[in-house]
Amino acid sequence: MELGIKGKRALVCASSKGLGRGCAEALAAEGVNLVINARNDEALQATAESIRNTYSVEVIAIAADITTESGREEVLAAAGNIDILVTNAGGPPPGMWSDWEREDFIAALDANMLSPIALMKSVLPGMMAKGWGRIVNITSMSVKAPIAVLGLSNSARAGLTGYVAGTARQVAHAGVTINNLQPGIHATDRAIALDTAMSNAEGIDIIEARKKRCATIPTGRYGTSQEFGAMCAFLCSQNAGFIIGQNILLDGGAVNSTM
């Protein structure tokens, strides 16, 4: 399918690995020039080089913590007048409801709610002035179905989802779409960290923990970054201009609901 976005310019945050990288690669495959970001410069530069070589697009790589104001300023300055924004950052640590204090919630809200909101506020005026823009936020299936050990994620991402629901409808008239992608379990470093957390909590080995987590998914496997990126690229396409404020679950059927 021709997505009609060749030559557009995208900022994909937190994208040296995992789901962010999957989105960056899927956009690059459509001929979109990229600004990518992560904290570790070495891994980021390696990803940038690999994407340039594979897809022959321009890739600017900015090493910065996207959850800080200074990090965002640096990334946004390099990004300039972008057409596409994909927000992403690492997820909060797992734990128990009784573990989390005010500062833990503030950190989670900063990373997974207030950072994407700040990024959207920065780029929306430029997109609206051009009459075209696409914003995709990587959130989590935990917004639809709580993951008990990820209470910080459940809380922060629900807040972001509420903000997007209203804002997407305020900016749609200017040709800008905002939607959220809700990943279930995908085979990335984050999945390894959560497999390890289960293995430690239950005193089982990591293979056993992965089997138990796979058994919660009707597909019987974790998702891939490529599958995830393909949906992101579609939401950024010309064809997706009528999709506004939606939350799209990519979870292999793990959330058991009729609608």
What is the contact surface with ligand NAP in residues (CB under 6 A)? 14-20, 37-40, 43, 65-67, 88-91, 138, 140, 183, 185-186, 188-191
Q: Which amino acid makes up residue 42? A: E
Which CB sits closer to ligand NAP, 121 or 221?
Answer: 221
Q: How far is the CB of 170 from ligand NAP (least distance, A)?
A: 25
Which CB sits closer to ligand NAP, 11 or 84?
Answer: 11
3-state class of 239 per DSSP?
helix
Of 196, 102, 193, 208, residue with least CA distance to 155:
102
Burial group, residue 142, by CB count within 10 angstroms (0-12, 13-18, 19+): buried
Q: How far is the CB of 132 from ligand NAP (least distance, A)?
A: 26
Bridge partners, 247 (sequence order): 180
Which CB sits closer to ligand NAP, 67 or 180?
Answer: 67
Q: Which amino acid makes up residue 148? A: A
CA distance 66 to 110: 10
Q: How far is the CB of 70 from ligand NAP (least distance, A)?
A: 12
Which CB sits closer to ligand NAP, 82 or 185?
Answer: 185
Q: How far is the CB of 246 from ligand NAP (least distance, A)?
A: 17
Q: Residue 231 in contact with residue 248, Cβ under 8 Å?
A: yes
Q: How far is the CB of 40 from ligand NAP (least distance, A)?
A: 3
**Residue 60 CB neighbour total at 10 angstroms:** 16
Which CB sits closer to ligand NAP, 171 or 178?
Answer: 178
Task: Report the run of H or E that residue 10 belongs to, with start and end.
Answer: strand 9-12
